A and B are shown apart, each in its own frame.
Chain A
Amino acid sequence: MAPHISCFFLVAFFSAGCQVITSSDQRCIEKEANKTYNCENLGLSEIPGTVPNSTECLEFSFNFLPTIQNTTFSRLMNLSFLDLTRCQIYWIHEDTFQSQHHLDTLVLTANPLIFMAETALNGPQALKHLFLIQTGISSLEFIPAHNLKSLESLYVGSNHISSIKLPKDFPTEKLKVLDFQNNAIHYLSKEDVGSLQQATGLSLNLNANLITGMEPGAFRSTVFQSLNFGGTLDLLIIFRGLQNSTIQSLWLGTFEDIDDGKELSDSMLEALCEVSVESINLQKHHFLNISPNTFHCFTSLQELDLTATHLKELPTGIVGLSKLKKLVLSANKFENLCQISAGSFPSLTHLYIKGNVKRLELGTGCLENLENLHELDLSHDDIETPDCCNLQLRNLSHLQSLNLSYNEPLGLRTEAFKECPQLELLDLSFTRLHVNAAQSPFQNLYLLKVLNLSHCLLDTSNQHLLDGLPALQHLNLQGNPFPNGNIQKSNPLQTLGSLENLTLSHCDLSSIDEQAFISLKIMKHVDLSHNRLTSSSIEALGHLKGLYLNLAFNQISIIPSGLLPILSQQSIINLRQNLLDCTCSNIYFLEWYKENVQKLEDIEDTLCESPPALRGVRLSDVTLSCGITAVGIFFLIVFLLLFAVLLIFAVKKFLRWKYQHI
């Protein structure tokens, strides 16, 4: 009989499991209790009962709502964000959102709308963001404008709109973003642009519209936060239309899939003399030739982005860019850093030359005129040099941020960054560094706060590697091996008294000496994940409190009771993917774990490794009874009593027997 019952239970158990799996497929995901729910991709045709009335944020994309009307959302009165992307909505009837007074953002992207009723958007007191991307509309008249007084952004990309002209009564007082990306706008007239006059600080996006004509001076005496004409073939049309306008940021780049338009010539850019622009982007354009005179109209320009503009060099003595603050020359074809002729940009504070197509030679003193340079990005440039970086960065005494990540091997000697004593951030990740024994390349970087040395394949046995960094707060040493997988008592980290954040993941560590971090007294964040550490390494953290401690992907099995106080004094601990033991030999830790669940991260993936019966079970679900239970004690006492009685009997019998035989 017994096996029958157990099999019945087995079947019941598994089928119950399956039920849960299938029904959970149809459930919305609770992201924040009573507030945020995600019901994407569930094929729902109504708001399910599991979404409470108090919901504020509802992600409902990829469902099925052919018609929405005043009953559809009526009970969700607190909604502030509603995403109805691609719900096959054809009709939006009268008063659909009448009870959503707090609705702030409405996303109707990719619905084949046939009609929106005149009062469809009535209800919200301050609707700020409306997305009508790819809804098939050909005119802005389609949008009921009654209740859009608070509108800040309107997205109508990927439609069939051919004019940016706003309808007569369309409210524009608060409008900041008007996005017409990928429509059929080919011509802009004065009247079209005039309809936007009421809006101040507007960003107008006309990316991927083939503008073939513009009324000269169409933007006369207008002020725009940003204008995007991405993908336009003939920029001269744009330049003429923008005469006498003021624009903060002008995006005029093109793309790989757009035929090369007209090459930019000096005479074309001449038209920009009457435009006031602060920031301009010309990515992927071809210059006919860049002469010192090319940019002479850019006198007010502060930012120039020439990403992937096929540049091999810039001429010396460029006129007009003396006020330029930020220059982007990424993804070009320079061979030597001196070819950018840095002398033309004396005010430059930010310079980005990353992803150069050719191997970039840093040369000597190529940037020495850039006395004000604060930020320099030279990543992904195949830079290789046996002795970096004092000659190369000569005179950059104000440099605060330097990125040399993803380059070829660099050789560093003591005080390698002597020319940039103000450095606060230095990124050398994924660049192999050659540092000879006992050299201290970062010596005297008194202000350095952040140092990324991940995957630099450093020689960590060099005790002086990190000498001279009194202010260092963040250090990333991910992927650097330590000798014998061990961090000893004397190690290069001991000099970093200000360190708060230390990453030692993927360092192939198997042990850490108890005293290894003893001089690091104010650490807040320690990442030791993806190593081969066992619980004994926890002792090295004994003097630290309130840590975020990541020990995921290690080989921790049993944590003795003596180490638990060290864990207790930390604030968040991650122990997922370890070889945790769930037998009675680890009972103190298991009990501690259950009492401190609020401190633990990724509890869903923190699983038992042994015994085999509990393998893969969440630690938080394990209940062990170790030691002797009450019933056990009762039986033990009974047994002992019986044994004592028996013994007394035996002794009595033995003595009597002895007496009788005297």
Chain B
Amino acid sequence: MNSFAAALLVWILTSPSGSGHGRGEGWPIHMACSSGGLEVFYQSCDPLQDFGLSIDQCSKQIQPYINIRFGIILREDIRKLFLDIALVAKGSSILNFSYPICEEDQPKFSFCGRRKGEQIYYAGPVNNLGFEVPPGKYHVLLELYNENRATVACANATIICS
């Protein structure tokens, strides 16, 4: 029995997750904005890369057409680009929706059509709705992907409203 335990120990120590290849650590957590009683943190959930995001005019009363700054390296062509948002509070799902950003017959933004490998910096409006955030802690999963469902960006965000 002892030798079995020893064998198990050896295996645990040599297994990839145990030997710390650095995979499980993930990308650093960044702050997208913090003011007016609202704090937004995010972490890239794309294993290949991190990305940069900052939101202007952060406040509990979210204005329509807020401006953001966004920087990323494209891993895919984005002639077609879609956004999925999943909002969770207190462990239960509140909202799921999907929104097309770039389509063949309606490229909404000037960056639509750019190619794999390109570095993109976007500073400009997002056509969001205005609403007031009720106090609490929310988790948001944001995913940008193309028509093959290949990930362009993935973010695990936490929103704290006090």
Q: Which residues of A contact B (CB under 8 A)?
A: 3-4, 7-8, 10-11, 14-15, 18, 21-22, 41, 61-62, 85-86, 109-110, 131, 133-134, 155, 157-158, 181-182, 207-208, 230-231, 253, 255-258, 283-284, 305, 307-308, 328, 330-331, 352
Contacts and interface: CB of A to CB of B under 8 A. Distances in A.
Given A208-B110, A330-B105, 8 more contacts: A15-B14, A61-B116, A157-B115, A257-B110, A257-B122, A284-B108, A328-B105, A331-B106
Contacts of A7: 3-4, 6-7
B106 A255 contact: no
Contact of A230 (B110, B118, B127): B110
Contacts of B122: 257
B14 A4 contact: no
A8 B11 CA distance: 11
A652 B3 CA distance: 57
B10 A133 contact: no
A379 to B, nearest CB: 12
B109 A257 contact: yes
Contacts of A157: 114-115
B160 to A, nearest CB: 29
Given A7-B7, A10-B11, A257-B124, A85 B116 contact: yes
A352 B21 CA distance: 53
A283 B7 CA distance: 67
Given A11-B10, A18-B15, A86-B117, A255 B105 contact: no
Among A110, A258, A284, A331, chain B packs the most CB atoms within 10 A around the CB of A110
Interface in B93-133: 105-119, 122, 124-125, 127
B51 to A, nearest CB: 15
A21 B7 contact: no
Given A3-B3, A330-B105, A15 B11 contact: yes
Contacts of B116: 61, 85, 109
B103 to A, nearest CB: 10
Contact of A181 (B14, B108, B114, B119): B114
A133 B105 contact: no
Across the A-B interface, give the 5 residue pairs with the lowest CB-CB distance, nearest first.
A110-B117, A257-B124, A85-B117, A7-B7, A86-B117
Given A255-B107, A256-B127, A331-B106, A14 B14 contact: yes
Contacts of B75: 62
Contacts of A109: 115-118
Contacts of A181: 113-114
Contacts of B7: 7-8, 10-11
B9 to A, nearest CB: 10
Contact of B108 (A155, A158, A256): A256
A229 to B, nearest CB: 12
B73 A86 contact: yes
Contacts of A61: 116-117
A155 B77 CA distance: 14
B109 A255 contact: yes
A99 to B, nearest CB: 25
Nearest to B126: A256
Contacts of A15: 11, 14
Interface string B6-25: 11001100111000010000
19 contacts: A4-B3, A7-B7, A14-B14, A14-B15, A15-B14, A22-B16, A41-B48, A85-B115, A109-B116, A110-B119, A133-B114, A134-B117, A207-B113, A230-B107, A231-B110, A256-B108, A256-B127, A305-B105, A308-B106
Given A86-B73, A257-B125, A11 B117 contact: no
